Amino acid sequence: MTTKNITITSKNQITIPADIVRKLQLNKYRQLTIHRRGDELILKAQPDLEKQLSDIWKQLPKFSGTQTNSELKLTTNEAWKNKSL
């Protein structure tokens, strides 16, 4: 377990330390859930839905050759243009 001291701003905001953000692969669209247990606050990262959807799409035959999200977006855009999706 990692313990860090953080400060609450005047707008009741906190900053998650960069090393934790990297370790949990958080990004600006990732949601967190906050739980209160007595006088403790627990933050839990929600599943990365973009990654999960990307992994599902890559399993489909039309997209099976794509390796990165940018390749997946390019393949999807081309399929929409060709109306073959």
**Residue 24, SS3?**
coil
What pLDDT tens digit does each residue of the chain (85 aa) get?
A: 788 999 999 999 999 999 999 998 898 878 899 999 999 999 999 887 777 777 777 777 766 666 677 777 777 777 777 765 5
Beta strand spans in 1-85 (E):
32-37, 40-45
For residue 34, CA distances in Å to 4, 9, 44 come to 16, 17, 6
Hey, where are the domains in the chain? 1-46, 49-81
Give the burial class of 9: count Cβ atoms within 10 A of its Cβ; 0-12 exposed, 13-18 middle, 19 or more buried.
Answer: exposed
d(C-alpha 47, C-alpha 44), whole Å = 9
pTM of the model: 0.54
Q: Return the CATH fold of 1-46.
A: Pemi-like Protein 1; Chain: D (2.10.260)
